[in-house]
Structure 1
């Protein structure tokens, strides 16, 4: 895994730990709510990259912030993807024979 990816997952794990603590939820209680083992919660909070994403999603859902996951790569706001797609647009658009101007 690239280093920036590891850092991001470590930060997410740390943030989950803080969120759990602020809500006064034990690791065992979070594990039960998530349908996970206590060791999975511990690994997740340490930023273990091998924790399946569905456990991260369950934790975010439990904290009421699952919408953040939904918007990580929101395609209408993907500036890089949209820019790359725009580069492949034709420079000129020719009308087909038949006289349609293409006006809406």
Structure 2
């Protein structure tokens, strides 16, 4: 086993199968699922831009970033600011979807865990 594999196996952030939840990528710490999501979102933003026949240069200027930075957003690179992501979502009409991101009312697992740890009244000890 090479050193890279040992690092991943001994990573305390692993799932029960021993697979890493977070791995080091060339762009920083990003989980596999996180990287896939960023790339998919970047592709979706690119599709929205192309459907509207916007150029990278025009939309970058509209939000106040360089064309290079806008391209990095569309590539799904995790180093792009969250503010730029939000602005891109608003520009292309996805602002309603933003409010569902991390909405605690939609966190069924968290709500279930909270209910299990809630003190129960009226139970004799």
- TM-score, with normalisation over the residues of structure 1? 0.84
Residues 8-61 of structure 1 deviation map (CA, whole Å, 9 limit, x = unaligned): 001100111001000111111110111111001111111111001100111111
How many pairs were matched up? 94
Output the CA distance in 2 between the equivalents of 1:88 and 1:39: 48
Partner of 1:68: 97
Unaligned runs of 5+ in 2: 1-29
The runs of 4+ residues in structure 1 deviating greater than 4 Å are none
1:30 partnered with 2:29: no
The structure carrying a bigger helix percent of its residues is 1
Structure with greater contact order relative to length (CA < 8 Å, sep ≥ 6)? 1
Output the CA distance in 1 between the equivalents of 2:90 and 2:122: 47
CA RMSD of aligned residues (A): 1.3
Partner of 1:53: 82
Larger radius of gyration: 1
Output the CA distance in 1 between the equivalents of 2:38 and 2:61: 22
Shift of 1:91: 3.0
Shift of 1:93: 3.2
- TM-score, with normalisation over the residues of structure 2? 0.71
The structure carrying a bigger strand percent of its residues is 2
